[in-house]
Amino acid sequence: MTQASVLFEVQDGCALVTLNRPEKLNSFIPDMHARLREALAASAAREDVRAVLLTGAGRAFCAGQDLGERVVAPGAPPPDLGQSLGTLYNPLVRALRTLEKPVVCAVNGVAAGAGANLALACDIVLAGRSARFVQAFAKIGLMPDSGGTYFLPRLVGMARAMGLALLADSLGAEDAARIGLIWRCTDDAALMGEARAVAAALASGPTKAYGAIKESLYASPHNTLDAQLNLERDIQRELGRTEDYREGVAAFKEKRAPAFRGR
């Protein structure tokens, strides 16, 4: 029996999603797309999932598109990369950003091409010290995709975005954390422990507030201050009606830890 290209398991409110083609540096083939889409859809739908932790098996996080699939024979018509993005990669990025639950990414090794941008689409990105981020696209005659041209300038500013995209060099995890591309760099051996702890903390938190934080922070770069103030007013109104808000305030008054239920 062939191994599943994506592993999915739920434990203590957290869905662990593992890209699982280690012999191909977890590069994307259609089956991996389909299974990752399924895992994210299940994470969205299941009430017992309140946070997602995404990682890769083996020495890489993800090397982007499997280029073994992309060799064009002489004389053959050119591939429609737009179709591949429109039907496979873009839906994944959208699914991560619109999931109303926090997504932690543990970058356990190299993250290249669409693999790098898949990581950047997650909400909190931790990386082991030996991990690296490579906007490899220009090396094969392409430009960053899967949200790369959107995420890079917003995360690290235009000068660094341009350098990373044009030069397509490897950026180590420590430098990635230093310039604000990711949340934190950890020792390799500590990565999964720290990532699990972050995901577990989020899985026992106020899930609706986390969904609201994602929605409002991701809307922020496009909004005027006025529009953002209105958005905060409207979403906070909704949060004020949640059980978790009641519980948070009660716990504060009673000087105890809150028991959030994600409702």
Q: List residues binding ligand LHQ (CB under 6 A).
A: 24-25, 27, 63-68, 81, 84-85, 89, 110, 112-114, 134, 136-137, 140, 142, 145
Handedness of CA 34, 3, 65, 44 (dihedral sign): positive
Q: By Cβ distance, which residue is nearest to ligand LHQ?
A: 64
Least Å distance, CB 183 to ligand LHQ, is 22
| Alpha-carbon gap, residue 60 to 104, rounded angstroms | 17
Give the containing element (helix H, strand E) for 218.
helix 207-219
User: Could you give the 3-state DSSP secondary structure of residue 36?
Assistant: helix
- Identify which of residues 27 and 186 has a Cβ nearer to ligand LHQ in the complex: 27
Please list, in sequence order, all residues whose beta carbon lies within 8 angstroms of the beta carbon of residue 231, skipping any fewer than 6 positions away: 216, 219, 223
Least Å distance, CB 120 to ligand LHQ, is 13
Please list, in sequence order, all residues whose beta carbon lies within 8 angstroms of the beta carbon of residue 216, skipping any fewer than 6 positions away: 228, 231, 232, 235
Least Å distance, CB 14 to ligand LHQ, is 27
Least Å distance, CB 139 to ligand LHQ, is 6
Q: How far is CA 148 from CA 112, 137, 204, 215, in A?
A: 11, 10, 31, 19
Least Å distance, CB 218 to ligand LHQ, is 22
